[in-house]
């Protein structure tokens, strides 16, 4: 029979796995979007007003992306911030705008 501490630790472990998955998705999405648009890291870095090395840290997950940069990326790629940060699995913003354009 599992005791309360074991159940707590199991839930904590599950939450950690979910968090890690979301972080990986988030950083993978900004890289995938950049590559889908045939752009280099330096191109997006210029858009954001930062160095290529600094932007590279975003894609690696070594730096937190400021909200101002998320807004800029969202507008540039025509996607929602929710999609960029892994809160949405489907890019509904992009699909909606393709239908109305």
**pLDDT tens digits for range 21-55:** 666 656 788 999 999 999 999 999 999 999 999 99
CB 31 within 8 A of CB 57: no
Of the pLDDT bands very low, low, confident and very high (cuts 50, 70, 90), residue 97 is: very low
CB 94 within 8 A of CB 78: yes
Residue 23: give its domain's CATH number: 1.10.260.40
pTM above 0.75, yes or no: no
Closest CA to 48 of 28, 78, 68, 25: 68
Sign of the CA dihedral running 65, 71, 75, 80? positive
Domain count, the chain: 1
Query: What does the alpha-carbon distance between residue 78 and residue 65 come to, in Å, rounded to a whole number?
Result: 18
Find the domain containing 30 and state its range: 4-100
CB 30 within 8 A of CB 86: no
């Amino acid at each position: 029979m599992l005791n309360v501490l074991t159940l707590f630790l199991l839930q904590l472990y599950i939450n950690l796995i979910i968090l890690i998955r979301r972080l990986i998705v988030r950083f993978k999405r900004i890289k995938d979007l950049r590559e889908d648009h045939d752009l280099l890291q330096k191109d997006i870095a210029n858009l954001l007003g930062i160095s290529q090395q600094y932007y590279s840290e975003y894609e690696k997950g070594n730096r937190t992306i400021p909200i101002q940069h998320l807004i800029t990326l969202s507008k540039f790629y025509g996607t929602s911030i929710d999609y960029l940060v892994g809160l949405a699995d489907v890019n509904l913003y992009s699909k909606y705008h393709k239908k109305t354009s």
